[in-house]
Structures are given as C-alpha cells and as structure tokens.
Amino acid sequence: MSRPGPRRDHSIGPLSEITSSHTPGTWTPKNIATRSFENLVALARDQELRREAKKLVWRDKGENPAELTTIEGCFNHAWTGGKRAGTLAFGIRAGVNLFLLLFRIIRTPRKLKFALIRHAVFGTDSFRFAAMMGTFVAVYKFFINALPLIPNNKLPEILRYTPPTTQSELDSHSSGEPLYIKRKEEKGPATEVTDEKPPSKDVFVRKPVARWHALVAGALAGLAVAFETPDRRLTIAQQIFVRGLQGSYNFWSKRFGMRIPFGDVMVFSLCCGQIMYAFLLSPTTIPRSYRVWIQRASKVPAACVRMNHDLTRTGKFNLEDIKELINWEVSAVFAPQVCTA
C-alpha cells in the first residue's frame, strides 16, 4: 500500500495575484507578514488623513472655542474660517450643478457638452455662492470674537454682560439682569462619587458671549447675501429667516417642554399651501425657474393656470387660452421636442 504524497496548498494562487512583484509559489510566512504590516500601515495613514481632513471642517466635540485677545488674531481667525467655508461652498455648488447636469447632458450635442460642464463647475453661480458663504462666515467670526474685546465699563448699562460661572442653564433672569448666552453644564446626581465622564467627548462647548454680540454679528454677516443674484436673494433670506425661527422654537420647546403633535406635518402642509397659492394666484412672488418646474411637474396646461388666475382676479379670461386648450393634445406631443431642440 503506497503512502499518499503531501497535499499541495492551492491558496497561494489568489494571494500571488494581489501583488505583481510576487510570482506564484514564492509566498512565504515572512512575505505574508510583511505584506500584512504594510497594509496596516497604509490603513493607519488613511485614517489619520481622514481625521486631519475632518479637523479642517469641524471642531471636535468638547474642544474649547478659540480665545482671541487681539484684533489681529480675530482677523486671522475669521480669514481662515472664511476661506474654508468659501472653498467648501464652491465644491458643494459645483457638485450639485454637475449632478443636475447629468440628467440632460445625454441629450446634448457633443460639441456643447464641454461648455456645459465648464459652466457648471466654474460658472458664476459657483463663485457667487462661495463668495456669499465665505463672507458670511468671515464677518460673523470676526465680530463675534472682536466685540467681546470691548471693555464692559465702556459700554452702556443695558449692553453690559457677565460671563456665566456658577449659574445653571435653567436659572431664571430678573428684569434687571443682562442677557447672555450660557455655557451648558452637565448636571449629575448629588450622590456618591461616580465615574466622571469628560464633557469633551459628547458636548459642544459654546463661547459665552452677550446675546447682542451674536445679534450684531449675524446682522452684519447677513449682508453677504448681496453676492447672490437679485432673484435668489429673497429666497435665501426667507430660508435663513425660517431656519432661525426653527432654531428658536427648538430651544424654547425643549426648555419649557412644549410639543405640538404632528407639528412637522402641519408646517409642511402650510408651506405647500402657500407655494400652490403663489403658483396659481400670485405667480410673481416666486422665482420663474421654480414656477416653470411646478408647471412641468404638474402636467397641467399653462393656459388652464392663466385662465384660473384671470377668472379669480378679474372675472375674465383670454380667448387665446381657449384656442390653446383646443389644440393642447397636438401641442403637448410636439412641445417638448421643440423646447429641447
């Protein structure tokens, strides 16, 4: 009875295909260990680069805000933040433009594709949006850090403030106390000594400043919306105003325990009703691009919308709209081809 020969290890083949510098059959435990170590080093470097890139955009939770004592320091801090915000805004706007362009670039002639891509990335919209966001962040950072440098004794009595030290978040103010933004303090049970969890891991540290500092800084930074086109300024201003109301509601609702059941659904319904009212009866109050998008998405003849507007506002309608509706089936078939040609 013959003794069976040694079995061959067929797992070397796939490993040898990973790196071209190793030929089949030359993998040894030392080579495998070296390769694994190199992969671990590369993974660690990649994670380190990700952390460094994240620090360029966000401050770590619990990291104390910058403590600036000179106007020059405030300017440098604001300039750095403005450049970072402008760069991110440019990339985001260019990316959104490219994403929207993908839906119609297939039907675009080849000779126009490069021009459309160039305009989507380096068009005026991207630069305007970057300038608006960069200026907003830079102005806000400068004034929110520079205004506290004004000595308290040189301010009017109503504008003076005291940074919070021992008062808790829920302490009530008297009518004569100055208002300021307080730093959140974690409250633990007054019992036995427990494991203290450092707040630097789970909370954002806010800079204690007077509320009128934030008001003035935000008002001056809001002027950055002037970099956008006139037809977009109103839309952006409305969005910022609504987001401010939302933040105020979230703050006060948590503080006093107020909760409206299905509040999000009701707000969304009110917004949709307002938009449709503007589309049907006050079309000049919304941007033309938004109005055209609703018209295309609704699949309703434009003549019907005009007749509804005229009958509601004046009690009359245009006979040309009736003629357009009579030929609507024919025009609906050929109109998209004419528009895209």
* pLDDT, greater one: 297 or 193: 297
Q: What's the whole-model pTM score? A: 0.58
Q: Which residue has the tokens 């730093």?
A: 183
45 vs 310: which has the higher pLDDT = 310
CB 35 within 8 A of CB 19: yes
Contact 233, 215 (CB under 8 A): no
Provide the token pair at 262.
Answer: 């299905």
| Most confident of the ranges 8-12, 36-40, 132-136, 316-320 | 132-136
Could you tell me the pLDDT band of residue 160, with boundaries at 50, 70 and 90?
confident
191 pLDDT higher than 50: no
pLDDT the model gives residue 162: 65
Instruction: Kindly tell me the burial class for residue 125, based on how many C-beta atoms sit within 10 Å of its own C-beta (0-12, 13-18, 19 or more).
Output: middle
CB contact at 8 A, 15 and 32 = yes
Residue 20: the pLDDT is 46
